[in-house]
Amino acid sequence: MPSPPPPPLPPPPDPSHWDDMQIQDLPFPDPGVPDARSGPRFLWWLFRNQLSGQLKSLAWGLLHFASVASLPFCVGVAVQAAVDRSGGRLALAGGLLALACAGNAIGETFLHRAAITNWITAAARVQQLLARKAATLGSALTRRVAAGEVVAVSTGDVEKIGWFVEALSRFTAAAVTIVLVCVGLVVYEPDLGVVVAVGLPVLAVAVLPLLPRATRRADTQREKAGRATELASDTVAGLRVLRGIGGEELFLDRYRRASQEVRHAAVRSARMWSLIAAVQVLLPGLLLITVVWYGVRLAREGRIGVGELVTVYSSVMVLTYPLRHFEEIAMAYSFSRPSAKRAARVLSLARATDTGGSRAAETPAGDLYDPATGLLAPAGRFTAVVCGDPDAAGRLAERLGGHAADKGTSALLGGVPLDELPLDSARRAVLVQDKDPVLLSGTLRELLDVPASGAVDPRDALEAAQCGDVLAALVQGSLGADDPMDARITERGRSLSGGQRQRLALARSLVTDPEVLVLDEPTSAVDSHTEARIAQGVRALRTRRTTVVFTSSPLLLDRAEQVVFLHDGTVAAAGGHRELLRTEPRYRAVVTRETEDEAALAGVPDTAGAPREDGALHRLDGLEELREIEETA
């Protein structure tokens, strides 16, 4: 009598159903400190941090697999009872069969629940760790790791990591069940039990020689997929620029080639896993043929009964179900290992300074000073900084905010080293807006709902940043939004121009009203008329607050109370904008974009002995004209 077919292997948990689970302890108050020394160590750390969930999954898995494995015994008892015409044993077999089916249903239900919980728990912990690392590193993260790789780790990789962590307990339950069944068969029917006990381990390890090649092909596929994701992310982010320079087709061709490489790698990987799956089907079939052939001989000789033969045959057939978990754990590890390696690489990144700080939490006040360059920004004043190297200016801006990517001399605020402050205190004291700020999707009200002193009204900040046309554009693009604060902003503000995004980001920074505000090229994408009004609005709104602006715009420099010129990494000159134009040729060359010959010509005295008033000095007249236009407007 053939035994019922084994239940199908449950599919991996579907992340789309995560919201249906009631998991009360997510998100974690503290996801912990991961072991990011390698991918396997990180996987083991995740497993240990949810040990109770793994034990629950193991317990329910043992109940499920044991119930499935007991079905052949119940069937064998029933067959033998029918042969012996024993009604009592037949009733006993029926009761045992009902009990096994109930255990199977209960075990599988709660096993699936525990597996889903373990999957979500591991994935959520990894996502929390990645979010915490991104918040800690700030803009330094994308300088060390490509943005596309960060996206790949936080989306697809967390699912694969969760899959392995979840599958490990189910695999353990399946392995324990196989061992127990082999021992039971040896005791129940030694002749056939020995054959099964020898054959099943051979089936389990038969695919081991194929796993290294399958793992290498899976790694290759993941690497190529990661590069394709990075290329797609970078292309989408720069699509507006690519269209402007006619490079759209070039990058699309690159992505097509990368996509085809991923497809070829996926096909090669699938072929190897298909071979492993074929081996997992072929060898159990050979074992079944061997058991049937040998069992029939034993039955003809009268050494075993028909019920015993059915029991052993059905046991081997049913054990192919837990055996498939060996293939699953191999696939899960092969796919999760490179994912865990990438996650560990991101999580192993560290700030140049201690986020905890050696000083007590405080918000210092006073002059902002950078010992490395000699830059001094007096408290309560509007200071503009001119630096010919944009990258050096960006690094200096981060150092002024206590976010230095590399170890070095710390900037001082009121004599207190920012590197010695806890990260939260340093960020409350000094806010740094880099040259490429990010706008999150949502309403304008949500965008401006940031930690702030409360002294600056959002509408005043929007007015100072000259966002009138931006508000009109947002209202026009949002259906049913009468109040501009309820207008929606698309992801990264892609529906807005570069200048409009800059102004909204500037308004958000002004709302926070920090003790020190550091702006890196805040008006590089704004026209000159708007730029002049922004300079006036920012200076008026930041009265008695320290503001440092990295810029080479004459309009902003002319509004600054102090201008500091950096050359070769140190302060070369300081003073008023017009004074530096007259006295510092290198400053004039950076601000006015003059060539060396023009700068030298501008410093040659005329026949009366006075310096020439061409070149940069004529630009002063342009400033006056622009100011008159602004006042007229």
Give the chain's end-to-end CA distance (angstroms, integer).
Answer: 96
Instruction: Show the DSSP H helices in 567-615 as ranges.
Output: 577-583, 585-592, 596-602
The pLDDT value recorded for residue 411 is 87
Contact present, 336 and 38 (Cβ < 8 Å): no
pLDDT at 527 over 60: yes
Q: Which of 181-185, 229-233, 277-281, 502-506 has the lowest mean pLDDT?
A: 229-233
The mean predicted confidence, pLDDT, of the chain is 79
Q: Which of 84-93, 239-248, 408-417 has the lowest mean pLDDT?
A: 239-248
Q: CB-based contacts of 84: which residues, under 8 Å, 6+ apart?
A: none
Of residues 314 and 129, more confidence is placed in 129
Cα–Cα distance measured from residue 57 to residue 65, given in angstroms and rounded to the nearest whole number: 12
The pLDDT value recorded for residue 393 is 86
The pLDDT value recorded for residue 533 is 92
Q: Which of 290-304, 346-360, 377-391 has the lowest mean pLDDT?
A: 346-360
Contact present, 514 and 428 (Cβ < 8 Å): yes
Instruction: Show the DSSP H helices in 348-429 as ranges.
Output: 390-400, 423-429
The pLDDT value recorded for residue 245 is 67
Of residues 15 and 462, more confidence is placed in 462
Give the residue-averaged pLDDT of 43-47. 90
| Complete domains list, the chain, with CATH | 36-348 (1.20.1560.10), 368-598 (3.40.50.300)
User: Which among 436, 626, 594, 435 has a CA at the least distance from the CA of 528?
Assistant: 626
pLDDT at 608 over 60: no
* DSSP one-letter code for 49: T
In the chain, the percentage of residues whose pLDDT exceeds 90 is 15
Of residues 107 and 192, more confidence is placed in 107
* DSSP one-letter code for 53: H
Local confidence band at 236 (pLDDT 50, 70, 90 cut-offs): low
The pLDDT value recorded for residue 609 is 40
Local confidence band at 614 (pLDDT 50, 70, 90 cut-offs): very low
CB atoms within 10 A of CB 90: 17
The pLDDT value recorded for residue 598 is 52
| pTM higher than the cut 0.85 | no
Contact present, 128 and 32 (Cβ < 8 Å): no
Secondary structure, 3-state, 440-468: CCEEHHHHCCCCCCCCCCHHHHHHHCCCH
Of residues 298 and 379, more confidence is placed in 379
Around 352, how many Cα atoms within 13 Å sit in the side-chain half-sphere? 20
Contact present, 368 and 376 (Cβ < 8 Å): yes
* DSSP one-letter code for 605: B
pLDDT at 9 over 80: no
Q: Give per-residue pLDDT as tens, 11-27.
A: 444 433 333 334 666 78
User: Which among 254, 185, 258 has a CA at the least distance from the CA of 221?
Assistant: 258
Contact present, 80 and 308 (Cβ < 8 Å): yes
Long-range contacts of 333-336 (CB under 8 A, 24+ apart): 333/164, 333/215, 334/211, 334/214, 334/215, 334/218, 334/219, 335/160, 335/163, 335/164, 335/218, 335/222, 336/43, 336/160, 336/161, 336/163, 336/164, 336/165
Give the residue-averaged pLDDT of 473-496. 78
Around 207, how many Cα atoms within 13 Å sit in the side-chain half-sphere? 28
Q: What is the DSSP string of 164-190?
A: HHHHHHHHHHHHHHHHHHHHHHHHH-H
Q: Which of 240-249, 289-298, 365-374, 621-630 has the lowest mean pLDDT?
A: 621-630
Of residues 611 and 308, more confidence is placed in 308
Owner of token pair 């530096």: 580
Local confidence band at 496 (pLDDT 50, 70, 90 cut-offs): confident
In the chain, the percentage of residues whose pLDDT exceeds 70 is 82
Q: Give per-residue pLDDT as tens, 550-585.
A: 998 998 999 999 999 998 889 999 999 999 999 999
The pLDDT value recorded for residue 5 is 40
